[in-house]
Structure 1
Amino acid sequence: MRLIKAVLLLSSAMTVMAGAVISPALPEISRHFSADNANVLTKLILTMPALTIALCAPLAGHLSDLFGRKKLLVYSLFLYGLSGFSGFFLDDLFLLLASRAVLGISVGGIMSAATALVGDLFSGNERAEFIGLQSGFMYIGGIVLVLLGGFLAEISWKAPFLAYLSAFAVFILAIIGLSKPNHGSNSSEMVDLEKSLRVPYLAVGLIYLLVFLLMIFYYMVLVQLPFILQDRFGVGSAVTGLAISVSAFAGSLSSLSYPLIKRRLSYKLIYVLGFIFVSAGYVLIGNSFGFVVILTGLALAGFGNGMLMPNGSFWLMEVAPEHIRGKAVGGFTGMIFLGQFLSPILMAPFVSLFSLNGAFLVSALFLATVAISIAMLPMSRIVSSRLSGSLDKNNVR
C-alpha cells in the first residue's frame, strides 16, 4: 500500500509540473520568440496543456471506468515524459505548442486515473486524509518545481524541460507497484443498489463551476505575476520562482490541514472562507507597493486555494457513485484545466483596461462576490439525500 500511495502522490506531482516548472521561464521564452510578435502565444505555452486536458479528460475518465485505472495511468505517464521532454529540443513556437497539447492529453489521463484510484482505494476519514495529503503534496511539489524551474531558467529557457524526464521514473514505479483495485469485492446487491441511486447533478454541477472559477483566478499567479515582479521590481527568474513558491507553501499548509478543517466546517463554509482568503490576497497583490506586500498576498491566496482544491475533490468523491466515478472525475479534471487554459485569454482584456495590478483588484472583487453567493446557497437542497444518505447532514448544509 505504501508503494501505491507513493505512485499516486508522485503522479499528482506530475500534473503540477506540467505548468509550474516552466512558469518562471515565461519572460525568457517570450523574449526568445519576440520576433514572432506572439506575446499571448508564449503565455499559451504554459496553458496549452489545459485545453487538451479539458477536451480529453472526460473521455479519459470514461476509459478508466471501462478498461481500468492502472492501464490508463501507466500509458499516460509514458506519454507525459515523452511529450514534456521534447520541448528541450524544439525551437519553433508552433511545434512547441503542439508538444504541449500532447502533454495535456497525458495529464488528463494521469489526473483522471489517479483521482479515481483514490476514490476506489480509500473511504471516509481515510479518504479525506489522503486527499488532503495529495493536495498538500501537489503544493509542496509546486514549491520545489517552481524553484527548480527558476534556477534552470537562469541557465536557459530550454533547461526547465529537462524536469519532465522524472516522469519515466514514476512510470517504472507504477508498472512495478500499482495493483488493480478489486471492484468485485462488493456484492451484486450492493452494486445494483448503487446504480439505482440518483446522481445529484446540481451538486456535481456546482462543484464543477466552483473549481472552474477557482482555476481561472489561481492561474493568474503563474501567468501574470512573473511579469509584475520582473517589470516592477526587476527580479530574475530564480527570485520569481521563490515568490510564487510562497503561495504554494501556504497552500500546502491548508491542504495538509484539510482533514482537521473538514471535521469542524461544512463544505459550504470551507468554500466561503477559501474564496475570501484568495480575494484578500489579490487585494494585496493589486496594491503591490512593495515586494513584501506581494509575498503576503501570495500567502493569503495560496492558503485559500489550498482549502478549496481538496474540498471540491472530496465532496465529489462523496456524492459520485463508484460506477460513474471515472466519468465524474474526468469532468472535474476537465473543468480544472479548462479554467487554466482560459485564464490568460479571459484576463487579457482586464489587463489591457486596468493594467496587471488592476486585473488583480477586479478579480478580488469578483471572488468576494462568489464567496457571498455561496454563503446564500441552500446547500441542503442541492445535495440529494437519496444518493448521499451516508453523508453527515451537517457537512452539506
Structure 2
Amino acid sequence: MSQKNPHSKIFILAILSVSIMITTGTAISSALPEMAKSFPNISVAKIDMIATIQQFSVMVTLLLSGIISKKIGIKKTISIGLILTGVAGVFPLFSHNFSLILISRLIVGCGIGLFNSLAITIIDLFYEDPTRSEMLGFRSATEQIGVSILNIIVGMLVLINWHASFLIYLLAFPLLAFFLKVVPEPPIPETNSDKKQRINVSVIIMTLLLALMVACSTSVVIQIPNIVVTDLSKTGAVSSLIISVNTLMGMITGIFFGRVYGFVKKFVLPIGIIFMAIGSLVIVSYHSVLGATIGAIICGISYPLVGSYIFSLVNVIAPEGSETLANSTLLIGANLGSFSTPFFLSELGKLNSLTTQAGPFLTIFWLLIILTVIILIYQLFFQKKTNNQL
C-alpha cells in the first residue's frame, strides 16, 4: 500500500524517474566526433543535428500531449512516449544509414514530447504546495542527474564504437516498468474550456530570451566534444566527463536557485547571462582540457538561473488565466533553441576570424555582453517606472 502513497519514497522515485529521459537527446553528443568519421561526406552541422533534431518533433508533440492524455489518460500517454523513445533511441545501434538515423531521432523527439510536460502535470495532480514546489525542484534536478550519468556512460560506450552509445536508450524500458507498477492513473481535473487563453509581448520576449539561452547552453554540450577531439586530440570519454561536470553544476545551481533569487532578486537574470558569457570566453581563450572544463563549469551555472527565473515569472507576465499557454510557449521556445543550435553555431562561427572549434564562443561572449547591458539598463532606468518584474 505504501507504493500508492504519493509521499512514500518509492512513489516519489517513480514520479521523478520519468524525467530522466527528457534531456537524453544531447547525451550522445560525445559520440558525434566518432560518428563524423563514419560519414565523411556529411557536414559537421548535420552531424550535430543528431543531438538536437529531436527537439523539432518535441515541439509538435508538446502541443498534442495534452489532447492525447485527455483521450487515453496521462499514464498511457507517458507509457507510449517512453516506448517510442526507447525503440527509436536504440535504432542507430543497428543502422549505418544517416537519413534513417535522423528519422529515428525525430521519433525519439515524438516520444519525449509526449511525456515532457506531463512529467510536470503529474506532480501538479498528486501534490500540493509546499510539497509540489519541492517536487518540481527535484524533478529539474533529476533531469540534470540523468543526463550527467548518461554522459559518463556514453563516454565509456563510445570506446567500443559510436553505435554502442545509443544503448543508453534501453534505460527507457526499466523506467517504464517501474512507473507502470508504482504510479496509478492520476485524475484529470475539469477545466473551463470556454475561456480562451492568449499570450502577450512579455511572454514572447521571454520566450525568445529563453530560446537564445538554451541555444548557448546546448552549444556547450555539442561543441565541447568537437573541441576536445578535434582541437585537443583527446578522446570522447574526456569530453563526456566535461559535459557531465557541466550538467552537475547545473543541477547544483538549480537546487539553490531559491536562495540565490532571494538574495539578488531580479538581477538573477543578468547574472545568469554573465556566467554564460564568462564561461564562453574561458572556453575560447584557453586552448586546453582544463580551460574547456572550467569554461563548461561556469556555463553550467547560467541556464538554471535564467531558465528558473523566466518560468517563475509566468504568473506575473502572462495574461490572467493564460498561464498554461504561457508555459507551453516557453517550452516550445526552449526546444526551438536546442533544435537550432547547430545552425546557431555555424552562423556565429562566421562572425569572427577564429578557425578553431571554439571560435563560435567568442561571438557568444560579445552577444551576451551586449544583451546583459541592455537588460541592466532596462532594469535600472525603466523598470522602476513600469513597476514590472521583468
Label 1:122 to 1:320 Cα distance change in 2 as closer, same or farther (>3 A): farther
In structure 2, the residue matched to 1:251 is 250
Label 1:380 to 1:68 Cα distance change in 2 as closer, same or farther (>3 A): farther
* Structure 1 unmatched ranges of 5 or more: 384-392
AA aligned opposite 2:347: P
In structure 2, the residue matched to 1:239 is 238
- Of 18, 21, 27 in structure 1, the residue corresponding to residue 33 of structure 2 is 27
In structure 2, the residue matched to 1:212 is 211
In 1, the alpha carbon distance for the partners of 2:225 and 2:281 equals 17
Task: Judge which range, 323-332 or 114-123, deviates more.
Answer: 323-332
What is the CA distance between 1:15 and its match in structure 2?
1.3
Residues 65 and 324 of structure 1 are in contact (CA less than 8 Å); yes or no, is this contact kept in structure 2? no
What number of residue pairs does the alignment pair up?
A: 377
Label 1:258 to 1:372 Cα distance change in 2 as closer, same or farther (>3 A): same
Label 1:150 to 1:222 Cα distance change in 2 as closer, same or farther (>3 A): same
Residues 281 and 298 of structure 1 are in contact (CA less than 8 Å); yes or no, is this contact kept in structure 2? yes
What is the CA distance between 1:238 and its match in structure 2?
0.7
In structure 1, the residue matched to 2:3 is none
In structure 1, the residue matched to 2:297 is 299
Residues 17 and 179 of structure 2 are in contact (CA less than 8 Å); yes or no, is this contact kept in structure 1? no
What is the CA distance between 1:122 and its match in structure 2?
4.3
* Structure 2 unmatched ranges of 5 or more: 1-5
What is the CA distance between 1:3 and its match in structure 2?
4.0
* Identical residues among aligned pairs (%): 23
In structure 2, the residue matched to 1:12 is 19
In structure 2, the residue matched to 1:271 is 269
* Aligned-partner SS, 1:154: coil
Alignment of 1:30-41 (within 5 A): 30-34=36-40, 36-41=41-46
Label 1:168 to 1:321 Cα distance change in 2 as closer, same or farther (>3 A): farther
Label 1:242 to 1:105 Cα distance change in 2 as closer, same or farther (>3 A): same
> TM-score, normalised on structure 2?
0.86
In 2, the alpha carbon distance for the partners of 1:328 and 1:65 equals 20
In structure 2, the residue matched to 1:130 is 135
In structure 2, the residue matched to 1:44 is 49
In 1, the alpha carbon distance for the partners of 2:286 and 2:308 equals 29
AA aligned opposite 1:33: F
Residues 274 and 305 of structure 1 are in contact (CA less than 8 Å); yes or no, is this contact kept in structure 2? yes
AA aligned opposite 2:90: F
AA aligned opposite 1:25: A
> TM-score, normalised on structure 1?
0.84
What is the CA distance between 1:173 and its match in structure 2?
2.2
In 2, the alpha carbon distance for the partners of 1:369 and 1:168 equals 45
Label 1:233 to 1:117 Cα distance change in 2 as closer, same or farther (>3 A): same
AA aligned opposite 1:27: P
Query: Which deviations, in whole Å up to 9, do the C-alpha atoms of 1:17-55 show, x marking residues without a partner?
Result: 2221x1111011000111x33433221111110121123
In 2, the alpha carbon distance for the partners of 1:182 and 1:322 equals 24
* Aligned-partner SS, 1:87: helix
In 2, the alpha carbon distance for the partners of 1:63 and 1:271 equals 35
Residues 57 and 110 of structure 2 are in contact (CA less than 8 Å); yes or no, is this contact kept in structure 1? yes
Residues 14 and 178 of structure 2 are in contact (CA less than 8 Å); yes or no, is this contact kept in structure 1? yes
In structure 2, the residue matched to 1:361 is 362
What is the CA distance between 1:160 and its match in structure 2?
1.2
In 2, the alpha carbon distance for the partners of 1:165 and 1:321 equals 42
What is the CA distance between 1:232 and its match in structure 2?
2.4
Label 1:320 to 1:62 Cα distance change in 2 as closer, same or farther (>3 A): farther
Q: Are positions 1:88 and 2:86 aligned together?
A: no
In 2, the alpha carbon distance for the partners of 1:84 and 1:379 equals 46
Note the aligned Cα RMSD (angstroms): 3.0
In structure 2, the residue matched to 1:338 is 336
Label 1:18 to 1:162 Cα distance change in 2 as closer, same or farther (>3 A): same
Going by fraction, where is helix more abundant, 1 or 2?
1
In 2, the alpha carbon distance for the partners of 1:325 and 1:143 equals 31
What is the CA distance between 1:318 and its match in structure 2?
7.4
